[in-house]
């Protein structure tokens, strides 16, 4: 019989906050409804986007919350952004409310304890240069590893040694020719609800009036969907089953005479925008490895090869029912002028089209979505099931835990050919012939 403190007991509901469990525990049975086993505040021991680098100045630190932890960010001696726990070990004051009096340090607002970028207590301003407590064991602040890429500060959250950041951050952040444009919004729902939103066939219904869908035209998904293919850090969709490489009808037709969409007036918008869509599609760089194909990837991202770029949505838990949603837009302009033009287009149009017009339609549904009631998954929800299994496996077994999943045709996760999981790669090969 399970007890209230049993981590394997069913616990679903807004009032039940699951505490993070140490990696390496026995992985529970992954069958049936396993939603209660999903960590409410995300996966520990991964790299997460924290803040745009430009938000952190030299004089005042910045407070940031993610995965239930409060961080204080400030500039190190060489200008790099560093992160320490936003709690002074002396009396618990918030370091983020202090000041950066001296280069590469932050001072507690209460007694002036000064910490360097390594978390060491290097001075106590309220006691003077001869303070006896300065530098003593136990006076240091916890440090979080950071790395800045393409203007984004990433932070390692977890108690294990930081893994290579290339395993958790998309490959374009390490491409010197890549232009990565980023944005942020907040969704007032859990990170798992936000992420699962991109795993099913709701687009032709919820987003039927979104600009990005109307300009691209109706795409019939079909009742089967795409079977997921495990690529090592997540799932891609099987290109052989993708509706993006098929010709879609104008409408879905039902046996009783119903049609969906009910009208075809949106096709006028689709026809008008087709030249721009075709031109924009040529700007979408296909991924260079199957590991970063379109699909879902740990610790909480969805990548899509549509719109006008390679678009990534990264769901970062802040609180149980608050998610910071990052967007990465990847292009590879050939000239400096083209880079400036793409920045302008993003600021003037594309950010609104994707991050607000399209995504806010999702949020309106998710705000009142019940995640604690029995659910009936359909045949298009195969990726939802496998994603939950993957998340729970990594939560209890650690980031290196083996995941039991058999790919189509017996493909090994690290041997999946790119043409099997990337529509854009296939399109580029066809165009190059």
State pLDDT tens for residues 35-69. 999 999 999 999 999 999 999 999 999 999 999 99
The answer to whether the CB of 393 falls within 8 A of the CB of 30 is: yes
Which pTM was predicted? 0.87
> To which residue do tokens 């549509």 refer?
306
Least Cα distance to 175 among 333, 373, 294 occurs for 333
Residues 292-321: pLDDT tens digits?
998 899 999 999 886 566 789 999 999 999
The answer to whether the CB of 294 falls within 8 A of the CB of 238 is no
**What domains can you pick out in the chain, each with its CATH number?**
53-157 (2.102.10.10), 170-432 (3.90.380.10)
pLDDT at 356: 84
The more confident residue out of 317 and 352 is: 317
Distance of CA 372 to the CA centre of its chain: 23
Q: Are 266 and 273 in contact (CB under 8 A)?
A: no
Q: What is the mean pLDDT of the chain?
A: 84
- Summarize pLDDT for 380-421 with one digit per residue, the tens: 777 888 889 999 999 999 999 988 888 888 888 888 999 888
Work out the pLDDT band at 157, boundaries 50, 70, 90.
very high
Strand order in the sheet with 146-149: 46-52, 152-157, 146-149
DSSP line for 138-186? T-PPPEE-EEEETTEEEEEESSSPPPPGGGTS-GGGG-TT-EEEEEEEE
Question: What is the rounded distance in angstroms from the CA atom of residue 235 to the CA atom of residue 290?
Answer: 10
3-class DSSP state of 325: strand
- DSSP symbol at 265: T
Is the separation of the CB atoms in 213 and 198 below 8 Å? Answer: no
Decide: helix, strand or coil at residue 75. strand
Pairing of the two strands 143-144 and 113-116: unpaired
Quick check: 80 pLDDT over 70? yes
Q: Are 412 and 222 in contact (CB under 8 A)?
A: no
pLDDT of residue 238: 83
Quick one: pLDDT at residue 244? 56
Q: Which residue has the higher pLDDT, 382 or 266?
A: 382
Give me the long-range contacts of 14-19 (CB less than 8 A, separation at least 24).
14/320, 14/321, 14/372, 16/40, 17/41, 17/320
| Better pLDDT: 114 or 252 | 114
More confident residue, 300 or 282: 300
Most confident of the following: 6-15, 258-267, 384-393: 384-393
């Amino acid at each position: 019989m399970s007890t209230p403190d049993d981590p394997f007991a069913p616990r679903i509901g807004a009032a039940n906050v699951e505490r993070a469990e140490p990696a390496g525990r026995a992985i529970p049975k992954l069958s049936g409804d396993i939603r209660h086993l999903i960590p409410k505040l995300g996966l520990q021991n991964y790299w997460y986007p924290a803040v745009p680098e430009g938000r952190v100045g030299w004089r005042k630190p910045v407070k940031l919350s993610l995965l239930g932890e409060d961080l204080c960010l400030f500039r190190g001696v060489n200008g790099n952004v560093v992160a320490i726990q936003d709690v002074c070990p002396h009396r618990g004051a918030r370091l983020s409310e202090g000041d950066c009096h001296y280069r590469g340090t932050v001072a507690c607002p209460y007694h002036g304890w000064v910490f360097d970028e390594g978390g060491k207590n290097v001075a106590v301003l309220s006691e003077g240069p001869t303070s006896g407590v300065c530098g003593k064991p136990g006076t240091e602040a916890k440090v979080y590893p950071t790395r800045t890429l393409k203007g984004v500060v990433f932070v390692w959250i977890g108690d294990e040694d930081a893994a290579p950041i290339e395993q958790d951050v998309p490959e374009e952040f390490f491409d010197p020719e890549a232009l990565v444009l980023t944005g942020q919004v907040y969704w007032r729902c859990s990170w798992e609800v936000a992420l699962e939103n991109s795993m099913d066939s709701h687009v032709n219904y919820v987003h039927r009036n979104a600009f990005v869908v109307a300009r691209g035209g109706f795409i019939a998904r079909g009742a089967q969907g795409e079977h997921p293919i495990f690529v090592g850090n997540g799932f891609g969709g099987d290109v052989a089953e993708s509706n993006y490489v098929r010709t879609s009808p104008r409408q879905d037709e039902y046996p009783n005479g119903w049609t969906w969409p009910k009208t075809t007036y949106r096709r006028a918008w689709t026809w008008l925008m087709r030249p721009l869509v075709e031109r924009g599609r040529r700007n979408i760089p296909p991924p260079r490895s199957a590991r970063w194909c379109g699909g879902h990837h740990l610790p909480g991202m969805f990548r899509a090869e549509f719109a006008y770029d390679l678009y990534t949505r990264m769901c970062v838990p802040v609180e149980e029912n608050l998610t910071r949603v990052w967007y990465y837009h990847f292009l590879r302009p050939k000239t400096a002028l083209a880079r400036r033009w793409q920045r302008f287009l993003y600021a003037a149009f594309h950010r609104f089209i994707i991050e607000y017009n399209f995504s806010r339609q999702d949020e309106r549904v998710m705000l009142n979505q019940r995640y604690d009631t029995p659910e009936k998954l359909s045949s298009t929800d195969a990726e939802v099931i496998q994603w939950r299994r993957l998340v729970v496996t990594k939560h209890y077994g650690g980031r290196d835990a083996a995941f039991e999943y058999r790919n189509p045709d017996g493909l090994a996760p690290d041997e999946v050919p790119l043409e099997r999981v990337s529509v854009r790669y296939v399109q580029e090969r066809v165009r190059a012939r």
